[in-house]
Amino acid sequence: MPYTGIRRFEEDDVPQVAELHRRVMRTHAPVVQEWMQPYRDYFRAVFLSDAAVSTGLSSLVYQREGRIRGFLGVMPRRMQFQGKPLLAVVCSQFVVDPAERGQAGLQMLKRCLAGDQDLSITDEAAECTRKIWEWCGGTAALPYSTHWVRPLRPTQAGLAIAELHGARESFNRVLSPLARVADAVATRVVNRFRPAQPAGSRELLSDETWLACLTDVAHRCSMGPAYDAQSVRWVLERVRGHVAHGAVRAIAVKDDANMIAGWFIYHARRSGTSEVLQIGAEPRQHPVHRVKGSL
């Protein structure tokens, strides 16, 4: 009889997992080889990488009657707590066939949480996933779950967001000329759409400098990531590979003393939504530290 139950995610599972994720999470995505191959490459590169396999921790699949009905991605991450190393896992791409929802998802997460890691966290998740985590003893970290949008061209930004939520591309093409005219007026009349020139200076942030900034800030926190040159290179290769999102720009911000005050990394996408990947700041630059004495 075919195996039924939860087991480790393996190379041969990639096609079925990619199709399951597309069918459940991206119901309107095209089923064509040109589109599915990058999808499969993602699951292989992220969840079967050398870094993931070397820790002994594994992503999980739920299989029944010879078919994969559930997937829970596990990405091991090295961190430090009060100067001591710890191993964390980031759970991602948690998906279960609608016909199997209930115990399958719960058992997969419980299996994951019983691993050898010191800490388990998840990235952005839907309401149903949050409930499963809370059933297993997890806690929602709401202050760290904030999404924000800063419109620079409000009308065009609205069209871009509508397209992300299913609006037809042809509909947006018709309205784009009108949106550009409306934004030209809005940015001249409404000051909030014209960001003031910030103090200090900016320059390109090298990979080596970014690693130094991450290490310095992490050492000042009770808990933080423990990056090295290899892990930084892997992360940057991943984000730079998303060419459809725009070029990756990493900028260091320096204060009047020419010291690095912070940095930001983002996808620069002309005439579209540019996603901010990370914002970092030296602790001395945090407003809460400057006003702490008067609170």
Residue 40: enclosing H or E segment and its boundaries? helix 33-47
Contact between residue 202 and residue 252 where contact means Cβ atoms under 8 Å apart: yes
What pLDDT does 265 receive? 94
What pLDDT does 104 receive? 87
Residue 249 has pLDDT above 90, yes or no: yes
Residue 201 has pLDDT above 70, yes or no: yes
Residue 150 tokens, joined = 């800063």
Which CATH class, in words, describes the domain spanning 154-294?
A: alpha beta
Which CATH class, in words, describes the domain spanning 5-144?
A: alpha beta
Residue 160 has pLDDT above 50, yes or no: yes
Residue 178 tokens, joined = 């009108």
Residue 60 tokens, joined = 């999980």
229 CA to centre of own chain:
20
Among 88, 78, 75, CA closest to 42: 75
Q: pLDDT tens digits, residue range 78-134?
A: 999 988 999 999 999 999 998 887 788 889 999 999 999 999 998 777 788 888 888
What pLDDT does 100 receive? 84
Q: pLDDT tens digits, residue range 20-34?
A: 998 888 766 556 566
Task: For residues 143 and 93, give the distance between their C-alpha atoms in angstroms, rounded to a whole number.
Answer: 22
User: Are the folds of 5-144 and 154-294 the same?
Assistant: yes
Residues recorded for the chain:
295
Among 90, 93, 72, 109, CA closest to 25: 93
Lowest-confidence region among 13-27, 125-139, 185-199, 217-231: 185-199
Q: Give every CB contact of residue 144 below 8 A, 6+ residues apart in sequence.
A: none
Q: What's the sign of the alpha-carbon dihedral 156, 160, 162, 167?
A: positive
Domains of the chain: which residue ranges?
5-144, 154-294
More confident residue, 280 or 165: 280
pTM for the whole structure = 0.77
Contact between residue 4 and residue 66 where contact means Cβ atoms under 8 Å apart: no
Residue 289 has pLDDT above 50, yes or no: no
Lowest-confidence region among 7-16, 37-46, 208-217, 277-286: 277-286
Rounded to the nearest integer, the mean pLDDT of the chain is: 81
Q: pLDDT tens digits, residue range 257-279?
A: 888 989 999 998 877 778 899 99
Beta strands in the chain, from DSSP E residues, in sequence order: 5-8, 60-64, 67-81, 84-96, 119-122, 201-204, 223-225, 247-254, 260-268, 276-281
Task: For residues 154 and 184, give the distance between their C-alpha atoms in angstroms, rounded to a whole number.
Answer: 10
pLDDT confidence tier of residue 164, bands split at 50, 70 and 90: low
pLDDT confidence tier of residue 203, bands split at 50, 70 and 90: very high
What pLDDT does 221 receive? 82
